[in-house]
Amino acid sequence: MKQETPLANRKHIGIFGSTNAGKSTLFNQIIGQELAIVSQQPGTTTDPIVKGMELIPYGPVALIDTAGFGDVSVLGEKRLSKTMQILDRSDYIIYAVDCQEALQNDIETITRQFGETPYTIVVTKTDLLQSDEKNILQNKLTGAKFVNHKDEKSILMLKEFLASELQKMSKEDDNQLKGLLSGGDHVVMVVPIDSEAPKGRLILPQVAFLRECLDLDVVCTVTKEETLNETIRKLPKVDLVVTDSQIFKSVAEIVPAEIPLTSFSMLLAHQKGDFKTMLSSCEVIPALHPGDKILMLEACTHHHTHEDIGRVKIPKLLQKKIGGTLQFEYYVGYDFPSDLSQYKLAIHCGGCMITKKAMLSRIEKCKTAGLPITNYGVVLAYLNGISDRCSEVFFRE
C-alpha cells in the first residue's frame, strides 16, 4: 500500500470565487484529473472536494474545491456556510475570478475577507479577453495570475508559483519538536503495549514523532513502561521522555525529576494550538456548577479511543471534580455552533486529523466569544494533576 501523508500534515489550498468562475476547471487542471464536475450550470459543486496531491517541488498539499460565493439557489446559504468553513481551514487561498467579473468588480473588497491568510488572485478564462483588457487587469490586479483551460503552460506556471509561495511560508509549525530538541539530543518514547494498542503497528502520533526525531537528527529510543527504568539507566543522557498520557502517572514515578517529561497529547496541543490558552482555560474548572453546558469538539468521526476519551473519560473526571452533572454537547467534524454564549467551557479533541490553521481559527472564535477553550490532552493532564510536570518542558528558557 502506498504510504500517504495524512491530510492534517498537508498545507491546505482552498479555491474560492463566484459560482461559474472556473474553480472546478482550475481544480481539475491543478491535480491533473477530472475529479470535480465542471458545468455552465451555476452551483454544480455542492460539497467541498478535498484532494491530496504533490505540489512539486514543495511537497504534499491538499487542494479544496468549494461551491463558491454568490450562489443564489435554495441551497445557496448552506453551501456558503460550508465554503466559509473551508476558509477557516485554508492555509493558502486561490481566489478565482472570471476575467469579465475582474474587469467589472472591485475584487479587493472580497479578498479583504481573507484576513491574514495568504492568497493569490487567479484570473480565469483569459482566452475570452481582448489584449487591451489584459493590460487593464494587469494594472488593476498586480501580482494576479492569468490562466485559461486551453493553456496548459498557464496552469504549470501557477503550480510553480504556488509551490514557491508555500516554500516561503514558515515551516516552523511542521515539526512539533522544533525548539524543544535539536540534533544529537536523545529522547525516550514510552509506548504502552496494552489491549488498546493496535495489533502489529504503532499509532499515527507515535509514527509522526519518530519521523520528526529523524528529521531533526534526534536519537530516539522506544520502550514500554515495564522496561523504562532500565532504559533510562543504560543511556548516557536523556533530554526528554515522551509518553502516552494514559500512563503518565506511573511513568512520572519512574522518570527522575531532573529529566523533562511530557505526553504526546501535550506535544500535539503545543504544536497545534494556542498552548497557553489551553492551559489557562483549565482554571475555570473549579468554578463550574452542576448543569453548566460544556462544548465538546471532535474533529474526527472514526477514532474509537478518542471517542472514549471525549465521551466517557473526560465527562466522568470533570463531573467528579465539580461534584455534579454537567451537560456535554458534541460537535463532530467541521461542525461548529453559531452561539457560543451558552457554554462555560469548550474542550477540543487533540486535533491530529485537522491542520493547525483549522484549530487556531476555532480557538480564535472561542476567545472572541469569551469562551475558555482547552483540549483533551490538556484537560486530562489538569484533571489528573499532572499538567505542571507535563508542560514544564515548553516553558524552559
CA dihedral 353, 356, 361, 364 (to 10 degrees): 120
Residue 83 interacts with ligand GDP (CB under 6 A)? no
CA dihedral 155, 160, 161, 167 (to 10 degrees): 150
Q: Which does 272 bind (CB under 5 to 8 A by kind): ligand GDP, Mg ion, none?
A: none
Residue 45 interacts with ligand GDP (CB under 6 A)? yes
Nearer to Mg ion by Cβ, of 20 and 154: the residue is: 20
Nearer to ligand GDP by Cβ, of 130 and 341: the residue is: 130
Residue 23 interacts with ligand GDP (CB under 6 A)? yes
Residue 21 interacts with ligand GDP (CB under 6 A)? yes
Binding mask 44-63 for Mg ion (x = CB under 5 A): -x------------------
Q: Which does 46 bind (CB under 5 to 8 A by kind): Mg ion, ligand GDP, none?
A: none
Residue 216, phi-psi category: left (phi > 0), alpha (psi -120 to 50), beta (remainder): alpha
- Residues 268 and 283: their CA atoms lie apart, in Å, by 20
Residue 136 interacts with ligand GDP (CB under 6 A)? no
Per DSSP, helices labelled H in 183-234 are 204-215, 228-234
336 within 8 A of 371, measured Cβ to Cβ: no
Residue 149 interacts with ligand GDP (CB under 6 A)? yes
Residue 195 interacts with ligand GDP (CB under 6 A)? no
309 within 8 A of 380, measured Cβ to Cβ: yes
Nearer to Mg ion by Cβ, of 23 and 362: the residue is: 23
Q: Which does 392 bind (CB under 5 to 8 A by kind): Mg ion, ligand GDP, none?
A: none
Per DSSP, helices labelled H in the chain are 23-31, 76-89, 99-104, 108-111, 131-140, 152-168, 204-215, 228-234, 248-254, 264-272, 275-281, 304-308, 314-322, 356-368, 376-383, 387-392
- Residues 324 and 322: their CA atoms lie apart, in Å, by 6
Residue 20 interacts with ligand GDP (CB under 6 A)? yes
Which residues inside 14-43 make contact with Mg ion, applying CB under 5 A? Answer: 23-24
Nearer to Mg ion by Cβ, of 95 and 343: the residue is: 95
What is the contact surface with ligand GDP in residues (CB under 6 A)? Answer: 17, 19-25, 38-40, 44-45, 68, 124-125, 127-128, 148-149
